Amino acid sequence: MMSAVEPQSPAGSPRDTGAGQSTEVEDPQQIKPQRSAAFLENLKRVLRLGRQTSTLRENLQDELAREGSGDTTFSPEERMLLGNILRLRELRVDDVMIPRADIDSVDIGTSLSRVMEMFQTSGHSRMPVYEDTLDDPRGMIHIKDLMAYIAARGAEARSLGAPDLADGAANGEDTSEAEADQPARAGHNHPDLDLSSVDLSTTLKETDLLRELLFVPPSMPATDLMAKMQAGRIQMALVIDEYGGTDGLVSLEDLVEEVVGDIEDEHDEDEEAMLASAGDGVWIADPRLTLEDLDEALGTDLTEGEISEDVDTLGGLLYFSVGRVPVRGELLLVPDEVPGFEFEVMDADPRRIKRLKIRRRRADARPQDLRRRPKRPYGPVNGTTQETDGETGRTTSANGKS
């Protein structure tokens, strides 16, 4: 009888291990293409489903919500990016804008030296420029344009006040002493820019450094603003309210961050957290904290109540509740919306709250209301100082008479 000769298995094919089992030998060069193609295969599958009954958007949302593992599902990073892209269509300009109180801006009458200082302290590369108030915007200033302007003025001063050494030598002049004062240079003998002759007291109004700004309404879809910025190559827009006043500011970076998350470079400083625990039942909060994040931290349901139709942030909740801007040191309660918690104003100015302390109230704490204020001087009145007692509401002068 003839015996069959078993052919050898080629590399990358199953082979017998001698125990009745076969193992797959994977080609390392094929692993990376297989993984990189998984994301495209997922999208193709969603596209095929989209041809049936539902829209592509609905099928993609269902796919992102589907639990799974392995190469047949999206990675967490892919889910985050795709989810943010889908949500971007629902965002309006006022959802992503920087509020007016937080805008770093410069008056058109500001000197160049002061503008340089403001760029240094703010860390921005662009700032809106206004005249008198931010409700009268004139454009924006870019730090690159400012540096180019100063360098150009320095180059002009150099060309007028420092003749080339080679020209002096050609005219028979003794340039040895001047050459000794010049540091070694690569290929030329030109002196440095004469920045000392640049007049930094010149104001922005006296220059032509201002660039165009976009003006958009708060109800404009964020995707429309992004397309408008890209088409016009303008990366900053002011949000204008119905009365023509400035409501906020949006940059192209703000819009991109809604998709990819925070973008930080080497000049960005770490910002304080919107909400940080400061012990058992105590939190330090930024008034810009959203109601959604506040609900998650405190276990409340503010986003489900009617208050969410009027305000979006913790600061807005307190303004709405007391009907004014609270003062520093004031203790506030919002028993209807946030029962069991009290809010202490740690820092504030006449326009806004800057920092808050949230504290869980003890069960035996004495009832208080929103009218409670700390004792604080209101300034001299006829040579005396008046104080308001936080318990009785009586105003008392320094000599004890009310």
Cβ–Cβ < 8 Å for 135, 149:
no
Per-residue pLDDT tens over the stretch 166-177: 455 555 555 555
Q: What structural domains does the chain harbor? A: 29-88 (no CATH), 93-145+203-260 (3.10.580.10), 275-360 (3.30.465.10), 375-402 (no CATH)
What does the pLDDT average to over 280-295?
A: 90
Report which residue type is found at 46.
Answer: V
Q: Which of helix, strand or coil describes residue 344?
A: strand
pLDDT digits (tens, 9 = 90+) for 245-276: 999 999 999 999 988 887 766 555 656 688 89
Q: Is the pLDDT of residue 347 over 50?
A: yes
pLDDT in tens, 134-158: 999 999 999 999 999 999 988 887 7
Identify the CA nearest to 128 among candidates 202, 204, 199.
204
Of 312 and 191, the one with more pLDDT:
312
d(CA 176, CA 165): 9
**Angle of CA points 74, 75, 81, to nearest 5°:** 85
Instruction: Give pLDDT tens digits for 17-41.
Output: 444 444 455 554 554 555 556 656 6
And the tokens for 354?
């800057």
pLDDT at position 140: 97
pLDDT at 314: 92
